[in-house]
Structure 1
Amino acid sequence: MNKLKLPIALTFLLILFVACSTDDEDNSLEIYTTEDLSLLHNNSSKTWELEAYYQNYDNWVSDQNECFVDDSYIFKSDNEVEVISGNENCYYGDSEIAEASYTFYEEQGEVWLTMIRGKITDNIVSSTSFSLKLIELQEDRMVFSSGHKGDYKMALIFVKN
């Protein structure tokens, strides 16, 4: 029986060491509160510029990066985002419509941004849209992404104007 104590103890320590790896901390989910949202909209409105639009943060900037980064984004306390279009259009030329809004899910502590680009011609609507989760929020920087912090996939990285 004494011969089994050492291997059992070593196995237990190995399991404990692997289970408590610090890698878990990197994948922790941010939980936001109503108070945190003041960083997003300054309790009224706050203008942000897009630093970059990544189709895949590790590999490349999106083909639409130029049209997104020349726009201004005014985040308001009523969950609306006013998009002031720049000179470069993403999809639809001079008839492009750009809209955005964010949704705060207080129980989960999550914030989601929905971007819509479209046009209306006669009675036909053509549009492209996507939603991304807020994964980083600071006074002068925020990141909405389909990945996790440190492992961004599609990402919009905003900086304070």
Structure 2
Amino acid sequence: MKNIYIPLLILSTLFLYNCSKDDDGINEKYTLDDLQKIHGNSSKTWKVEAFYKTYENDLLSEFNDCYTDDAYTFFYDTNEAEVILGNASCYYDTPTEQDGRLTYSFNESTGKIFINISKGESLDENFKNTLTILGLEKLSETRMIFTGGEYPYYGKTLVFTAVP
């Protein structure tokens, strides 16, 4: 009788070990209807809630302050958002010029949405900029999360909140 319990115990242990509670189980495939959440069928404005260097460790980027005071308006008829820069600069205390750009792309066959976001500043003849490409990981009517990696290692992450 003991010989039956040992294989049953091993089999049960293997079964329970292979069951996981990963909350990443959904590999989201977005649709044209989901794009409406981004642009609101006309236009919709979003603010950056946080810019993370590593999202999974809750470590903010050194550029967090210069992104969280900007506004991004997405439109239904173009893949380029209007960028309204805030007062916080990324590189220089008093830059002579600042520029921000955000474009997004949607691949209908894969259901993936990506943003290409850049910010640049100049001070006299000096110029610095960043260019970041991130994939949409989570989307609701009021929140978008774009990441540079896949669960659970998102890495660089921008969290957007809809402006009411």
Question: Percent identical across equivalent pairs?
Answer: 36
Partner AA of 1:101 in structure 2:
T
Does the 8 Å contact 1:102/1:114 carry over to 2? yes
Q: How far 1:113 moved relative to its partner?
A: 1.0
**After alignment, is 7-16 or 51-60 more displaced?**
7-16
Does the 8 Å contact 1:40/1:46 carry over to 2? yes
Q: How far 1:4 moved relative to its partner?
A: 5.3
**After alignment, is 11-20 or 128-137 more displaced?**
11-20
Q: How far 1:29 moved relative to its partner?
A: 2.1
Match of 2:9 in 1: 10
Alignment of 1:71-90 (within 5 A): 71-77=70-76, 78-90=78-90
Q: How far 1:153 moved relative to its partner?
A: 2.2
CA distance in 2, matches of 1:47, 1:10: 57
Match of 2:31 in 1: 33
Partner AA of 2:97 in structure 1:
S
State the TM-score, normalizing by the size of structure 2.
Answer: 0.81
Alignment of 1:49 onto 2:66: no
State the Cα RMSD in Å.
2.7
CA distance in 2, matches of 1:67, 1:18: 45
Does the 8 Å contact 2:96/2:121 carry over to 1? no
CA distance in 2, matches of 1:106, 1:88: 36
CA distance in 2, matches of 1:125, 1:63: 18
Alignment of 1:12-161 (within 5 A): 12-23=11-22, 25-57=23-55, 58-77=57-76, 78-91=78-91, 93-118=95-120, 127-148=129-150, 152-161=154-163
Q: How far 1:102 moved relative to its partner?
A: 0.9
CA distance in 2, matches of 1:106, 1:12: 43
Aligned residues: 159
- CA spacing shift, 1:87–1:94, aligned 2, 3 Å: farther
Q: How far 1:86 moved relative to its partner?
A: 1.3
- CA spacing shift, 1:90–1:119, aligned 2, 3 Å: closer
CA distance in 2, matches of 1:7, 1:105: 52
**After alignment, is 144-153 or 70-79 more displaced?**
144-153
Does the 8 Å contact 1:91/1:117 carry over to 2? no
Q: How far 1:148 moved relative to its partner?
A: 4.0
> Unaligned 5+ residue runs, structure 2?
none
